[in-house]
Amino acid sequence: MTDEAFTPGLTAGGGGAAALRATEYDNPVAGVFDDVEQVPGAAKPDPILVADGVVKTFGGLTAVDVAHLEIQRGAITALIGPNGAGKTTFFNLLTGFDRPDRGSVSLEGEDISRVAPHRLARRGMVRTFQLTKALSRMTVVDNMKLGATGQRGESIWRSLLGPLWSAQESEVGERAEELLDRFNMSHMADEFAGTLSGGQRKLIEMARALMTDPKLVMLDEPMAGVNPALTQSLLGHVKGLRAEGRSVIFVEHDMDVVRDISDWVVVMAEGQIIAEGTPDSIGKNQAVVDAYLGQHHDQDLSVESPAGGSSDEVGESDG
C-alpha cells in the first residue's frame, strides 16, 4: 500500500493538511529497529514507555502478565493478539484506568503506575477506546474543544468570569477547526456527535485525542468497523502522527493494516508478550502462528467473522 492511496482524502482538507503533506509522511524512525533483538522484552534505543512485571488478575484469570516491554519513541508500535489476549486490559493498566496487581509502568523514565488517567493525559499520554466514546449530546466541535488541556475556563471560579478565558477559548476553537478540517469533518462541526456514523465517531475520537497535543497516542482498535476507504484515511492520519514526532501504540486485528503502517509489532496471547519484531518477520514466528491457530480453531467453532468482529460484540455488552 502506498501513500498515494490516502492522499486524496487529505488534500480535500484545508491548511493543516497542506502542512502535513509537505512532510510526505517520511518515517523519522526508519532504521531505528535494525539493531533491536526480535525477542519479547527487547530493549529499545529510546523507549518512551516501559512496563515491568505488570500483572493483573480477575478472580482466577490472569488477564495480563507482562514481564518487560519497551515502546520506542516516535515509532508506530502495533499490539496484536487473539481475542481475550489482554490487550485492552493492558491498555487500561498503562493509562491508569486500572491498577496492576503488581509491577510498574514508567513514562519517559518516571513511574506512572499510580498516576490517575487524567494526569497522564495532561502529561501527554492519550488513549482512545475500543468502544468508541462519542459524547452524543454535545456538538462535534464541543467534543473537539473538550480535548484541549490547560484550559483556564475549566476552573469552577474562573469559568464565571468570561474575559479570563474567552481569548483562550477562541484559540482552542481555531485549533479544533483546523483538526476537524484535517480529518474532513468540518461539515459536521455543529451536529450532535450522537448523529455521527460509526466510522465518523472513530475519526472524531482520534481527532479529539489529538487536541491534547500528546506525545504518546494509544489507539484501541481504531479501524474496527470502519469501511476500507475510511480505513485508508485513518491510516494516513496515524502515519501523520508519526511524522509529527508523536509515538503511537495501536491495537489491531487486521494483519494487512499492521504490516502497512507499523514499525514494530508486539504480540500478546493469554496475557503475556509472546513475540516482538518487525512486521515482516512476525508472521513467520512460530509462537505467533500457534497462538493465532488456536484462536482460529475457536473461531471456526463459533462463528466465522472478520477480525475483531466477535470480540466487538462481547465488548459492547460489557462496556
Partner 1 sequence: MVAQGQRDVSGERRIWDGSASRVRIARLMLGLLMSALAAVGVLAIAERAAASEGEQTIFGVISFTSEESNERVPIEGVEITVEGVGSVTTDGDGAFSIPVEPGEYTVSIDPATLPPGTSLRDLDRVELSALVEPGRDQRVLFAVVAGEEGFTDTSGGISLRRVAQLVANGLKDGLYLAMAAIGLSLIFGTTGLTNFAHAEMVTWGMLSTYFFNFYGLAGVIGFLAPLPGPFGDGVPVVFAVVFGAISGGVLGWLINRVLFKGARRAGVALLSQMLMTIGLSILMRYLMLYFFRGGPRQYLEYTAQRAVSIGPIQLTPKDMIAMALSVVILTGVGLYLQRTKMGKAMRAVSDNRELAESTGIDVERVISNVWVAGAALAATAGAFYGLTTVRWDFGFRILLLMFAAVVLGGLGTAYGAFMGALLVGLSISLSTLFIDAELKNMVALLVLVVVLLFRPQGLFGRPERIG
Partner 2 sequence: MDWGFIFERVMTAAIGPEVIVFALAAIGLNVQFGYAGLLNFGQVGFMAAGAYGVGMAVYWLNISFWWGIGLGLVYATVLAMLLGVPTLRLRADYLAIVTIASSETIRLFVRWRGNSGRTGASEGIGEFARPFYDLNPFDNAARYQFGPFNFLGRDLWVVLVGWILVAIALLLVWQWMRSPWGRALKAIREDEDAARALGKNSYVYKLQALLIGGLIASVAGMLQVIQKAAVQPDTFNPVITFMIWTILILGGPGRVWSPVVGSMIYWSLIVFLENVLRQLPPGTRSTLESTIKLSDFNISQFRFILVGLGLILLARYRPQGIFGSREEMALDDR
Contact residues: Mg ion, CB under 5 A: 87-88, 130
Which of 6, 25, 129, 264 binds partner 1 (CB under 8 A)? It is: 129
d(CA 78, CA 307): 15
* Residue 184 contact partner, candidates partner 1, Mg ion, ligand ATP, none, CB within 5 to 8 A by sort of partner: none
Strand, helix or coil for residue 10: helix
* Residue 232 contact partner, candidates partner 2, ligand ATP, Mg ion, none, CB within 5 to 8 A by sort of partner: none
Binding mask 216-235 for partner 1 (x = CB under 8 A): ----x---------------
Span 61-100, contacts to partner 2 by CB under 8 A: 95, 97
Q: How many residues bind partner 1 (CB under 8 A)?
A: 19
Which of 21, 38, 55, 97 binds partner 1 (CB under 8 A)? It is: 97
Contact between residue 183 and residue 226 where contact means Cβ atoms under 8 Å apart: no
DSSP 77-141: EEEE-STTSSHHHHHHHHTTSS--SEEEEEETTEE-TT--HHHHHHTTEEE--SS----TTSBHH
Nearest-approach distance from CB 265 to partner 2, in angstroms: 24
Nearest-approach distance from CB 86 to partner 2, in angstroms: 19
Which of 130, 200, 233, 272 binds partner 1 (CB under 8 A)? It is: 130
Q: Is 85 in the site for ligand ATP (CB under 6 A)?
A: yes
C-alpha distances in Å from residue 165, one per residue of 39, 119, 178: 50, 22, 20
d(CA 254, CA 273): 18
Of the candidates 169, 144, 143, which has an alpha carbon nearest to the alpha carbon of residue 154?
169
Say if residue 131 is exposed, middle or buried (CB neighbours under 10 Å; 0-12, 13-18, 19+).
Answer: middle
Which residues are at the interface with partner 1 (CB under 8 A)?
Answer: 58-59, 88-89, 91-92, 97-98, 129-131, 133, 220, 313-314, 316-319
